[in-house]
Every structure is written in C-alpha cells, then in structure tokens.
Amino acid sequence: MKTFAAVDLGASSGRVMVGRVHEKGIKLEETHRFANEPVRTQSLHWDILGLYRELREGLEKAGPVDSIGIDSWAVDYGLLDASGALLGNPVHYRDSRTDNVRLDISDEQLYEINGLQKLPFNTIYQLAAAQASPQFAIARQLLLIPDLLAYWLTGENGAEYTNASTTGLLDVRTREWSAPLTSGLGLSLPPIRQPGETIGEYGKAKVVAVGSHDTASAVVGVPAAGENFAYISCGTWSLVGLELGSPVLSAESRKANFTNEGGVDGTIRYLRNVMGLWPLQECMREWGSPDIGDLLRRASREKPVVIDIDDPSFMPPGNMAHRVARAAGLPADASPALLTRCIVDSLAVAHRKAIEQAQELSGRHVDAVHIVGGGARNELLCQLTADACGLPVLAGPVEATALGNLLVQARAAGVIEGDLAALRSVLRDTQQVVRYDPARR
C-alpha cells in the first residue's frame, strides 16, 4: 500500500485529500479544506499566494506521502518574468476582461487547429485581452495554475497536457503547442508533460503530473465499464460528453460548440460546457445558504419550468435569482423552491440536449449516463436527468476528481497496473454508485 496526496482547487474551496491505495482498494480522507474565493480589485483575481500557503499547510497535515498531484479548473494561468518571479495575481476566468475580445483568426480556422468549443474565457482570449498590459511586456513564461503551484513546490516548470489542451493554444492533432497560435505571443511556453510523469520532489515526496485539469481527473474517476457511456462531471459546471479515441472536427461539431479536450492516456474528452449548478449556487448564496436537502424536497413538489440555462447571461456572478425569475417569466418574488425547480429542470434538459448531440456528432451510442462530482448528491437532478435522457443515470462518486487524481499517481507508483478500464474497475469495486431509472413516458 502507498499513500498519495491529491490537491484539488475547486470553485469555492480547495482541499488536500489523502488516499491510501492498494491493488484492490482506495481509502480517501480529506485532511485540509480551505476557502478559494476570488478577490475583486479592478479585476477578479486568484488569491494565489494564500492558496499556496494553504496547500503547504495541507501537505504538512497529510504527513508522509509517496507523491503529490495537483488539479484545478482549466484555462487560468500566471505570468512569470525572466527571473521566474510571478507577475501579479492570476486573473480569474469569470472576470469581464474577455467580454469583447476578438482574434485575428476565424472561428473555423481556429477549430480546425485546436478543436475547442468557443468559450470566451479560454486562455487564448485571456491572453489577447492581456497583451496590451505593461505586465505582459515583461512576461517571459506562462504557467497554468497547477503547473505554477508545482513549480513553486519543485522548481521545475512544464505544462501538463490535459490542462494545456484547454488553453486554445494546443494543436489537437499533434498534441503540442501550435506554432501558428503561439508564435506571436512573445512568451515561452513550457514543454508538455503527460499525466503520470514525475515533475520533481517536494521534501521526500515526488510531485507527479496528474490530469491537472480537474475535469480530466473527474473523467478518470467515472466508474464506467465499456465505452458506451456518457458522463456528466457535475458541479459548478456540468461537463457533458463522451470519451473518444480521436477528435471530431466537423463543421457541425463546431457549430454545436463541442470541444475536443485532451484526456488521460491519449483519450479525447468530447464534451460541451453546460452551465451546471452555478446559477443554483449563486441563488443559494443570495438566499443565505438554506439547507439544500430541504430546498430540493420542496422543489420536487413544484411544477417544472424550463429556461435556456446555457444562456451566457447567467455566467457572471450576482443577482442570479432575479435573472432566473425574469428569464422564466416568473414574478420577482418567486419562491426559492420554484426557482430551484426551474434551474434543476432546465439543467436536466440541457444535459439531454448535450448527450443527444454528442452521440449524433460522434456516432458513438450510449446506454448509460454517469454523473460524478457534487451533482451526484442531488437526487432531484439525477432523477430529472434520467427522465429527460430516457437513460439510466449512475450517480457517483462525488469525489471523482480526487479519485482520478489519486489513481493516476497510484499507477505511476506501480500500485495499480493497466489502462483506464483497470483504474475504473477499482472504482467499481470500492465506490458507491446510485442508479436512477428513467420514469416511463
């Protein structure tokens, strides 16, 4: 048996989880949890030094481990000067600086190179927005957030492949930085490293590259058997899609805004970002954080109301309950239960749309939908998703991201052998999964 630390920086909190892994078992324990709140000055920023301090405190609390793996959400980065010092606090992707950014390349040409859905906050747009700043003029190197933290721990720099694949700067075919997309940046982009590679040492522990894009680790953590499954990594976002062997780059795929992100072991995460639980999280914050179980029970007794929850107007924070009520044609004082029902119903319908389109565009048929992440706890959402899709939903594990992070480390350490299917079979043997069958229509 070996012991690993998974560091996961999520939308509102960061955690250090310790996993004890042997060939047939995995035991997970959260040893440190800390806030990950963005800080607003003129822009919305990461509190990166505070997070680094918490990360080190968490590793201290974790005690001796064989290795450490770090993941976080995609696309965000820090800029370093020629001496390797960080230039300012990284900007959070929900900042408005990318609102009106345009690139010199057409959407069609861009998709042909990078295969990514158009999300206004992809690194390529963030860089276009940042390029005129004085900071950028002295920037020499870009590191994505997990790579930046690993650099501080080990002194080694690199770009982990799954997260690099979300920047918009990677060539989806060669899996390397695209020369046409990066040559004008005036920045050096670090060499790509694959999940499982050793980055360096922190004390006696190795620091190992994992699927450092949280969604890539979550997809490793999907306890699926075979390949005919769709997954929803459901938390602040719902990342809805399929695991494929090669990208889908058709015009239809681009128009439907499907992405071909890089997965662990050379897989392609063919998916679309669906708004996820973000609007509900924002409403809950406005409502003073009521008990979610009670809210969902009351919501389940309300009549369904469906809106286009994927409308980009729901992306920025603030005033969410009012925005949802207005979109649904409900009175401004609509009850939290009714608004919750509306968000959850709308999300279930958006899940169905993405799963149907993913199948059509890729030719892959699915016969079950796995929901992993925090959303797997939301019984109403799981049932409504099963009903909307007309497919069984298999919910869990909630901790798919941390588990995917740990499994890649465990394989690198030789505790578990084999491909993704072998890693997933450990999950099927050890993790609880709840099945929701679709209501008969």
**3-state helix, strand and coil shares in percent for the chain, rounded to the nearest 5:** 40, 25, 40
CB of 99 to ligand LRH, least distance (A): 16
Least Å distance, CB 303 to ligand LRH, is 31
Task: Please identify, using beta-carbon distances, which residue of 206 and 272 lies nearer to ligand LRH.
Answer: 272
Residue 214 C-beta: closest distance to ligand LRH, Å: 5
CA dist 241 to 335, 376, 438, Å? 33, 16, 19
CA separation, residue 92 to residues 51, 96, 145, 192, 330 (Å): 14, 9, 11, 23, 32
Full strand arrangement of the beta sheet holding 368-372:
259-262, 268-274, 238-244, 229-234, 368-372, 393-395, 434-436
CB of 118 vs ligand LRH, minimal distance in Å: 12
Q: Are the beta carbons of 441 and 390 closer than 8 angstroms? A: yes
CA distance 79 to 384: 43
Q: Could you give the count of Cα atoms lying within 13 Å of 144 in the half-sphere of its Cβ?
A: 33
Smallest separation, CB 76 to ligand LRH (Å): 8
- Of 111 and 202, CB closest to ligand LRH: 111
User: Is residue 93 a contact point for ligand LRH (CB under 6 A)?
Assistant: yes
Q: Among residues 149 and 299, whose Cβ is nearest to ligand LRH?
A: 149
Name the minimum Å distance from CB 226 to ligand LRH: 24
* List 237, 258, 270, 278, residue binding ligand LRH (CB under 6 A): 237
Contact of 394 with 418, CB cutoff 8 Å: no
- The string of DSSP letters for 223-248 reads ---SS-EEEEEESSSEEEEEEESS--
Is 273 a binding residue for ligand LRH by CB under 6 A? The answer is yes
Rounded distance, CA 234 to CA 323, Å?
Answer: 22
Any contact of residue 281 with ligand LRH (CB under 6 A)? no
Complex with ligand LRH: residue 78 or 336, whichever CB lies closer:
78
* Span 60-89, contacts to ligand LRH by CB under 6 A: 73-75
Minimal CA–CA distance to 111: which of 152, 22, 171?
A: 171
Instruction: Based on the shown chain and the rule CB under 6 A, indicate whether residue 362 belongs to the binding site for ligand LRH.
Output: no
x/- map, 19-58, ligand LRH, by CB under 6 A: ----------------------------------------
Burial annotation 309-342 (CB, 10 A radius, 16+ → b, else e):
bbeeebbeeeebbebbbebbebeeebebbbbbbb
**Cα(256)–Cα(294) distance, integer angstroms:** 36
Which residue from 124, 239, 299, 358 is in contact with ligand LRH, where contact means CB under 6 A?
Answer: 239
> Which among 214, 310, 345, 387 is annotated as catalytic?
214
Q: Which residue is nearest to ligand LRH (CB)?
A: 73
Q: Which of residues 97-136 bind ligand LRH (CB under 6 A)?
A: none
Nearer to ligand LRH, 3 or 117 (CB): 117
CA nearest to 402, candidates 17, 29, 4, 2:
17
Which residues, 179 to 218, sit near ligand LRH by CB under 6 A?
213-215
For 371-403, b/e burial (b = at least 16 CB within 10 A) is bbbbbbbbebbbbbbbbbbebebbbbbbbbbbb
Q: How many residues bind ligand LRH (CB under 6 A)?
A: 10
Active site residue 214: yes
Q: How far is the CB of 148 from ligand LRH (least distance, A)?
A: 16
Question: Residue 325 and residue 4: Cα distance in Å, rounded?
Answer: 45
Please give the DSSP secondary-structure letter assigned to residue 170: B
Which of 95/387 has CB closer to ligand LRH?
95
54 vs 214, which CB is nearer to ligand LRH? Answer: 214
Contact status, residue 168 vs residue 191, Cβ threshold 8 Å: no
Smallest separation, CB 38 to ligand LRH (Å): 13
Element (H, E) at 35: strand 25-35
Q: Is the dihedral of CA 387, 391, 392, 394 positive or negative?
A: negative
Residue closer to ligand LRH, measured from CB, 229 or 237: 237
Q: Which residues are designated catalytic?
A: 214
State the residues that interact with ligand LRH by CB under 6 A. Answer: 73-75, 93, 213-215, 237, 239, 273
